[in-house]
Amino acid sequence: MSKIVVLAPYPKGTAPSQRFRFEQYWTELEKEHELEFHAFIDEKLWKTLYQPRKHLLKVWLMLGAFFRRFRLLSTVRKADFVFIHREASQVGPPIFEWLIAKVLRKKYIYDFDDALWLPNYSEVNSSFQRLKAYWKIKYIIRWADTVTAGNEHLMAYAKKYNSNVLYLPTTIDTNYHKAETKTDADKIRIGWTGTHTTMQYLPLIEEINPLLHQQDRIIWTIISNQAPELNIPNMEFIQWKKESEIADLSTFDMGIMPLEDNEWSKGKCGFKALQYMALGIPTILSPVGTNLEIVTNGKDGLFATTAEEWAEQINKLIDDEAFRKTLAANGLKRVQEQYSTQAQWPTYQRLFLHD
């Protein structure tokens, strides 16, 4: 039985990118391999990282994270496969990737699902953003034996530095994502889920809301790790919890995924839309990046750009229940055939076969 050492940024079960890129394959991989998971950020740092101030505590905990990574190198030396998701350390140069590839002479698989070479950071930690060393991504890609990228835009970037790049879309475990019965038929819930890092797209809701039909029935439902600041009266906030995630999402009558058309958004892998579609929730999304690959407009999802277009598409779904059901059924089929863990498992499995 071969040994796989996984290096990832965050504690297991906390970050969407990890959950939808590799964690949901864990059970199947354990049947064939010995697995070890090592997060750079431990639980204590995770709970502190996005709190305001506390800079000295954050620095102290970050130093502890680096110490754990250095100590881990002896374990990495014994691994048959090393799998690095996003980066071995969130700050500083790619020292661990360099040590693994150049000193230990270990081949590693590098997996990424965002345009990590572009600046992107929380305002809470803006004073530390220069330490993130965005320039290092091209070197992490260059030193990797295999690179798995979440969409075509990321693949194109990776191929500048490495010839062995595979497309591995972000996937949904359709055995876990099973819609629960919606209980409140009197309300129309338009939903969004995500973390505070993607809330910059939500002010669009303030422009859309006055343009919608059946105003007295509409509730905007936001599921996240913190409440957004939106000036609308008909909003409800649900604290994200893994235990209630599916039940909470299942309250949506439709799901939205607004994005800006820029380089960062082109690197996104569409997991919000995929979650909605896997639960049979009709989905409206911005025609940006991988969203154009996931959805055929009018068949298994709807595209919208301006506030007026968003309102038009939402009103279409509000007024036409039959169309809403057809769109939802087609969206679910699309995920099952192309973007489910079951569909992509053979590709994933081949990553960990010996030459």
Kindly state the percentage of the chain with pLDDT values over 70.
94
Weakest mean pLDDT among 8-17, 51-60, 315-324: 51-60
Task: Indicate whether 123 pLDDT > 60.
Answer: no
pLDDT at residue number 122: 52
Host H or E run for residue 342: helix 341-350
- End-to-end Cα spacing for the chain: 15
pLDDT at residue number 127: 54
Same fold, 2-171+341-350 and 188-339: yes
Weakest mean pLDDT among 178-182, 222-226, 301-305: 178-182
What is the average pLDDT across 57-77?
A: 90
pLDDT at residue number 228: 92
Distance in angstroms (rounded) separating the CA atoms of residues 332 and 83: 30
Tell me, which fold does domain 188-339 have in CATH? Rossmann fold (3.40.50)
Please state, as a whole number, how many other Cβ atoms lie within 10 Å of the Cβ of residue 320: 12
What is the average pLDDT across 130-158?
A: 93
What is the average pLDDT across 32-48?
A: 88
Give 312's pLDDT tier (boundaries 50, 70, 90): very high
204-220 pLDDT, tens digit per residue, is: 999 999 999 999 999 99
Give 87's pLDDT tier (boundaries 50, 70, 90): very high
What is the average pLDDT across 131-160?
A: 95
Distance in angstroms (rounded) separating the CA atoms of residues 165 and 167: 7
pLDDT at residue number 281: 96
Considering the chain, what is the average pLDDT of its residues?
A: 91
What is the average pLDDT across 227-237?
A: 93
Give 54's pLDDT tier (boundaries 50, 70, 90): confident
What is the average pLDDT across 31-48?
A: 88
Weakest mean pLDDT among 83-97, 125-139, 329-343: 125-139
Kindly state the percentage of the chain with pLDDT values over 90.
74
Give me the sheet containing 218-224, strands edge to edge.
Answer: 235-239, 218-224, 188-193, 254-257, 283-285, 302-303
Tell me, which fold does domain 2-171+341-350 have in CATH? Rossmann fold (3.40.50)
pLDDT at residue number 242: 87
The string of DSSP codes covering 33-99 is EEEEEEESS-HHHHHHHTSSS-HHHHHHHHHHHHHHHHHHHHHHHT-SEEEEES-S-SSS-SHHHHI
Higher pLDDT, 179 or 338: 338
What are the residue ranges spanned by the domains of the chain? Answer: 2-171+341-350, 188-339
Structure tokens at 321: 């229940």
Structure tokens at 64: 């502890």
Burial class (CB within 10 angstroms; exposed 0-12, middle 13-18, buried 19+) of 151 = buried
- Under 8 Å CB-to-CB from 200, ≥6 apart: which residues? none
Task: Indicate whether 152 pLDDT > 60.
Answer: yes
pLDDT at residue number 77: 93
Task: Indicate whether 351 pLDDT > 60.
Answer: yes
Give 45's pLDDT tier (boundaries 50, 70, 90): confident
Task: Indicate whether 42 pLDDT > 70.
Answer: yes
Give 129's pLDDT tier (boundaries 50, 70, 90): low
Burial class (CB within 10 angstroms; exposed 0-12, middle 13-18, buried 19+) of 243 = exposed
- Under 8 Å CB-to-CB from 244, ≥6 apart: which residues? none
